[in-house]
Amino acid sequence: MSVVDEVKQKLDIVEVVSQYVTLTKAGRNFKARCPFHEERTPSFFVFPERQSWHCFGACGTGGDVFSFVMKQQGMEFSEALRLLAQQAGVTVPSHIERDTRKDERERLHQVNEAAAKFFHEQLLHSPAATRARDYLSGRAFTADTVTAFQLGYSPDSYESLKGHLQERGFSEKELVGSGLLVETDDGKTRDRFRNRLMFPIHDARGHTTGFGARALDDSMPKYTNSPQTLVFDKSGTLYAIDLAAPAIRKQDRVIIVEGYMDTITAHQNGFNNVVASMGTAITERQVTTLKRLSKNLFLALDADTAGEEAMLRCVDYENILDAEIRAIVLPAGKDPDDVIREDPQKWHGLVEDAMPVIDYTINMKTTGLDLNNAGDKTRLANEIIPIIDKAKDTIRLDHYLGRLAKVTKIRYNDWEKILQNYKISHRSKRVAGKSEVTPVAKLFSNPLEEYCLRLLLHHPELINMSEGLQPEYFRDSQNREIFITLLQTRDLPSLKDNLDPALWEQVESLMALNVIDGQINNKLDSVILRLRKQYLQDQKEERAAAFAAVAVEEGTGADLTNLNDEDIKSNAQLQQVFEQEGKSHRSGKGWT
């Protein structure tokens, strides 16, 4: 039995939750006012038989004892595991086996931290940094802000950082590996960042992973940052995530801006739930990271074409989040930095008025078109239908079509027909696969989850195709954590580096079982569908139990609207799964 299973076996979720929340009995289950959102009537339930919890109110989430402690305490899985293991009296293997890559990473964090300190000191005290200081005071940044963001200045020299860090015992090789030095054609090395305002970049745990740098003269490019290194990957990075995480969690809302300045100005004015995307394209990894803090994403991207392109990818991200993304529409030619500095109240208003990103996209696509004109209508359909077709959820699809009908004044039914035609023409392009039956040994507590992980571990290239797969579909926190870490790392060596050693045992046992080759994509599609079905059915059962408990206790006067709506929604989703299953059986996709 794995350590995680042992902890689960020894602890009772009711006792653990009771440490944080006052539970009252409701039939065989327990209820309380949800600790994660403000509410008057209890919609938070704990189910002792399933050892699970669920909030049927604003949160709409649930899980097992680990996910509860993670959410309640704002902890990573590893921390929650150690806390609960201690309560259960179970010993957890520690991070003893640190392999070289892990040491290398730590060393790079240290190099970057030392460099950040050096740059910061330069900014505060060096006579050469006058221009940088003037620039910051021109922006009205306070001393507290400069300290909180550890802003810095890189001297106009080829050797100053290099010399400073070498004196502190860092090798030239390490400095090159960190991206702080560059190698020149003649094989020598020199400082990468010169005469620039420096923005240290941290990961969610507060490690310094790299730098952003702004020119203080006419040097091009105006903004540059660290190259890709073992610890810095722009596409997975969110500037200020370490500072913003508590506010994001608390307000259950995250605002994504484009620039360092936007972020810093926002924080200085008390908008602490703001992070920057490190470029215009929001990536799947960034969305997955943010989803752990809040599902409510707001985008404030400059209203240029690049920003608009970013909006177009958002339907994909709404699938990941299972929630609507909102667009903050900025006045033409202004970025969040301008707006907030002019009038923080105005920014507040823009955030409150943010519109669903799909509405924004439709508006954007219809601008300049004459929808009485057949040619323009076709043009719009060609652009918008492929975007809308990406919706993985019938409720959301229906919502999108409704928005489209409203904005374009073309009937809903007509849009539905156009979408159906599009789907048919695309489906016929797919080739039906041959079925293949192999029994899967039911050795594990959740064969379906484990089978899915085996597929992904044996074929990490499939991770790019697993977009419909939500972490919530894994009921077991252990499996869920492996999946999330795999999403973030995407290959086995870095999975091993990043995964809690207590979970590696589970990965190894999964890897020990082979996956039969062939039709791998179909296998993945099929298992995702089954996991989704399992997830929806579980929710339905929990909802039925909560429904019964509330009805018995409070009679017909109880406010069951929310539960009812949820039920209708999940029935529709289940219906969709059954339909998809029917289709895949006909086309010969089997689960093995």
Which chain residues interact with Zn ion by CB under 5 A? Answer: 34, 36-37, 55, 57, 59
We find the least distance from the C-beta atom of residue 43 to Zn ion, in angstroms, to be 6
In the complex, minimum distance from the CB of residue 546 to Zn ion, in angstroms, rounded to a whole number:
13
- The least CB distance from residue 61 to Zn ion, in Å, is 8
What is the rounded distance in angstroms from the CA atom of residue 265 to the CA atom of residue 277?
15
Q: How far apart are CB 69 and Zn ion at their closest, in Å? A: 16
Q: Which is nearer to Zn ion, 3 or 34 (CB)?
A: 34
We find the least distance from the C-beta atom of residue 237 to Zn ion, in angstroms, to be 30
- Residue number, 252 or 416, with CB nearest to Zn ion: 252
**DSSP code of residue 369:** -
Taking the C-alpha atoms of residue 159 and residue 192, their distance in angstroms, rounded to an integer, is 10
CB nearer to Zn ion: give 57 or 177.
57
Question: Are 324 and 298 in contact, with CB atoms under 8 Å apart?
Answer: no
Least distance to Zn ion, CB of residue 487, Å: 25
Assign residue 446 a region: left if phi > 0, alpha if psi is -120 to 50, beta otherwise?
A: beta
C-beta of 60: minimal distance to Zn ion in Å?
8
Nearest to Zn ion of 21, 315 (CB atom): 21
Residue 30 or 260 with smaller CB distance to Zn ion: 30
CB of 39: closest distance to Zn ion in angstroms? 7
Query: Based on CB atoms, which residue is closest to Zn ion, 59 or 531?
Result: 59
Do the beta carbons of residue 231 and residue 251 sit within 8 Å? no
Query: What phi and psi, each to the nearest 5 degrees, are found at residue 356?
Result: -55, 140
Closest to Zn ion by CB, 24 or 498: 24
Q: Which is nearer to Zn ion, 36 or 239 (CB)?
A: 36
Backbone phi and psi for residue 138, each to the nearest 5 degrees, phi listed first: -60, -30
Which SS3 state, helix, strand or coil, does residue 183 take? strand
Residue 41 vs 537, nearer CB to Zn ion: 41
Does a cis peptide bond (omega within 30 degrees of 0) precede residue 501?
no
Distances (CA, A) of 411 to 69, 407, 417: 48, 10, 10
The Cα 475–Cα 531 span in angstroms is: 10
Residues 6+ apart with CB under 8 A from 224: 193, 196, 212, 213, 215
At 224 the three-state DSSP class reads strand
Nearer Cβ to Zn ion (321/380): 321
Helix (H, G, I), strand (E, B) or coil at 200: strand
**What is the C-alpha to C-alpha distance for residues 26 and 49, in angstroms, rounded to an integer?**
13
DSSP state of 97: -
Q: CB of 38: closest distance to Zn ion in angstroms?
A: 9
Closest contact distance (angstroms) between CB of 393 and Zn ion is: 21
Q: Please state, in angstroms and rounded to a whole number, the distance separating the CA atoms of residues 241 and 201.
A: 9
What is the SS3 assignment for 271-331? Answer: CCCEEECCCCCCCHHHHHHHHCCCCCEEECCCCCHHHHHHHHCHHHHHHHHCCCCEECCCC
